[in-house]
Structure 1
Amino acid sequence: MFSWIEHNRLLTLARQAARLPHILIVLLLGLAIALLSQFGAIPVIMAQVFIYGISENAIDTSEMSALVSGSWMAATLLSSFAGIFLFLWLWTRFFEKRSFSSLGFELPNALIKYLRGFLIGIIIFGGAVGLLAVTGFAEIEQGNPSMQGVTALGGVLVVLAGWLVQGAAEETLTRGWMLPVLSARYKPWVGILVSSLFFAVLHSLNPNLSVIAMVNLALFGFFAAFYALREGSLWGICALHSVWNWVQGNIFGFEVSGGSFGGGTLLNLMETGPDWLTGGPFGPEGGLAVTFVLVVGMAFIFFWPVKTQEVSPESVQE
């Protein structure tokens, strides 16, 4: 029934590699790639400091419109995470001797998978917000009129470009490379466990982190791993991850993994219940409402009536 965990397209693609690195190399290299990529944002941040100055130990955004704020936020996300693609291309090309597309970016049905992931991401996170709403633990907060509602629509749409890159980059590193490489070299459970915990550790320095938040970060890692393996590609989970963050921060106005992001928000919701349920200052990802939807999401994946198609390694083009 669950044979797709061991026999799926992502593992077949990983086995094309001329050599698969040891687990310690995978962990150290993954950490180095994640950290080095962040240096790409330094010029963008310096430009903002030069133009707007610093107020209360942060860039002064008080005079920014939602569109300008969203543009800077998109630029910051793009410059912070685009380097991950470059580093992984270099590694797979010159060390593993395989194509970048073998990380799960094959073209057949790519658009369908991407749009499906986008829709599922909206539904799943929307489910968590709906749970908070029906229990009376979320309500609309009146904030800066220029940064919420229809007035902020331009910024909300522009910042989506940054989230699309950010979500895809994290998924490419953890589920496109780390998960199948470790699964192919060792066992699938090793790849699933290590990549999921690694994903949680990458966010362990985020502000306002709690025990439930760490559990949910790991749960999202497991959910994303099962999704990618079940689909046999990375397109769907890249879209899901990206829209999850976008909807959370720029549609509903919550903190995203403990942080506040620019671009404005269509709705400005505020958690009003206990932190263990709503997530408190970390955002919904720190509460049991998200725990619930992630568990339900994993159950859905295990009974997802989609048959992963295996193809011979020779069919993958450079």
Structure 2
Amino acid sequence: MILKDEKLFLETRQSKKLPNFILAVILAYTFVFVGQFIGGIILHILFSLDLGWDFNNALLMQFLNLTIGFVFIIILVFLVVKFIGKRSVTTMGLKKENLLLNYLRGFGVGILLMSAVVALLYLAGCVEIEKNVLQPVGKFAILNVLIILPGWIIQSAAEEIVTRGWLMNVLGARYNGVIALIVSASLFGLLHLGNPNISFIAILNIILSGLLFGLYVIKTKDLWGACGIHAAWNFAQGNIFGFEVSGLPMKAGSIIDLRLVGNDMFSGGIFGPEAGLAGTIVLGVSILVLIYMIKKEKETLSNSKITMFK
């Protein structure tokens, strides 16, 4: 089995408590719900204070929505790992070694993946330049885009820490890698059920992206790269190409403002590229490539061990 006894699963077995399947899923959902609830309270307090902030400003609101609640999700997971699991957060794949390099490598992969989706959409005649521009675009959007980027970094890190860093590794340590990968990816998809204009293909693609991120963690034995892919995937959709991200409009600005046209099933329509078959194709091919790479790596390792004992 290509997902047996992965390094991060073995490290997670250091935990003093490994919850069962049901409790692990409930806890993962609780991290998200409680973190967002606390973030909502903080936002409410900020709204009530006379800070002189313009809460009708799209840039400010997008940044706040991408940071406040998600910061508390990260804090909650870290507290549970440290004080209940009695283990280091590094066992989730958050190693200090080559942190920046691993993150940037993943970020580059994420940009390439979304660019591949856009290329497919272009070849199919499903994208065109938006003529009715309602947000800063091009050189007028550069500052906004740079301000929003840290928000995507925090938001994606929070989701990866919950679903891959915590849930996948806990289930992998207690059960096996296949269960861990499928359950964590499925929960990732289900957490998006409340998004506007959700569809079957959208949920399927979000689950596929979860499988992709999980396999990348298993391949690299590192969570930073998956955080980078996730951040770049969202950032490219919303602030490079100007699409909706998981059904949510991004109005802070984009380098290019594209509009999806033609067949909604292929393009994703008003939900954005994540709800289209173009995204399914790119994600599916990428998953197959990662499975092949993991399998080849294990075969090479197995053959080298056999050679050593000859």
TM-score by length of 2: 0.89
2:245 aligned with 1:265, yes or no? no
* Cα distance change, pair 134–45 in 1 and its aligned pair in 2 (3 A): farther
Match of 1:90 in 2: 79
Tell me how far apart the structure 1 counterparts of residues 281 and 218 of structure 2 sit (CA, whole Å).
21
Cα distance change of structure 1 residues 292 and 42 upon mapping to structure 2, 3 Å threshold: same
Structure 2 partner of 1:253: 242
1:278–1:49 Cα change, 3 Å: farther
Gaps of 5+ in 2: 302-310
Aligned 8 A contact 1:82 1:165 in 2: yes
* Structure-1 residue corresponding to 2:14: 16
1:43 aligns with 2:32: no
Counterparts in 2 of 1:148-167, with a 5 A limit?
148-167=137-156
Question: Which 10-residue stretch deviates more, 297-306 or 224-233?
Answer: 297-306
Q: 1:199 Cα deviation (Å)?
A: 0.5
In the TM superposition, what is the alpha-carbon distance from 1:194 to its structure 2 partner?
0.9
Q: Which residue of 2 aligns with 1:111?
A: 100
Alignment match, 2:305:
none
Are positions 1:140 and 2:135 aligned together?
no
Deviation at 1:46, TM superposition (A): 6.1
1:190-201 matches, within 5 Å, as 190-201=179-190
Matches within 5 A, 1:1-318: 3=2, 5-39=3-37, 40-44=39-43, 47=46, 61=56, 64=57, 69-144=58-133, 147-304=136-293
The residue matched to 1:105 in structure 2 has which SS? coil
Q: Deviations over 1:144-177 (max 9, x none)?
A: 4761111011111100110000001100000001
Distance in 1 (alpha carbons) for counterparts of 2:135 and 2:181: 43
Query: How does the TM-score come out when normalised to structure 1?
Result: 0.87
- CA displacement at 1:111 relative to structure 2: 2.0
Answer with 295-304 or 138-147: which moved more. Answer: 138-147
Over the matched positions of the two proteins, sequence identity in percent amounts to: 36
1:151 to 1:80, Cα distance in 2 relative to 1, 3 A: same
1:202-258 CA deviation, whole Å, 9 max, x = no partner? 001111011111111111111111111111110100000011001101111101001
The residue identity in structure 2 corresponding to 1:204 is L
SS of the residue 1:255 aligns to: coil
Q: Given that residues 260 and 267 in structure 2 are in contact (C-alpha distance below 8 angstroms), is that contact kept between their aligned partners in structure 1?
A: yes
SS at match of 2:43: helix
How far off is 1:47 after superposition? Answer: 4.1
Counterpart AA for 1:174: T
Q: Extract structure 1 runs of 4+ deviating beyond 6 A.
A: 49-52
- Residue 285 to residue 126, structure 1, CA distance change in 2 (3 Å): same
Amino acid at match of 2:43: V
Give 1:41 deviation, angstroms.
3.7
Structure 2 counterpart of 1:100, which letter? Answer: V
Kindly state the Cα deviation for residue 104 of structure 1 after the two structures are TM-superposed.
0.7
In the alignment, the residues of structure 1 paired with residue 10 and residue 94 of structure 2 have an alpha-carbon distance, to the nearest angstrom, of 13
Q: How many residues are aligned here?
A: 296
The question of whether the paired residues in 2 share the 8 Å contact of 1:156 and 1:264 is answered with yes
Distance 1:171 1:231 in 2: 14
Conservation of the 8 A alpha-carbon contact between 2:243 and 2:250: no
Worse-matched range after superposition: 231-240 or 106-115: 106-115
Distance 1:109 1:210 in 2: 38
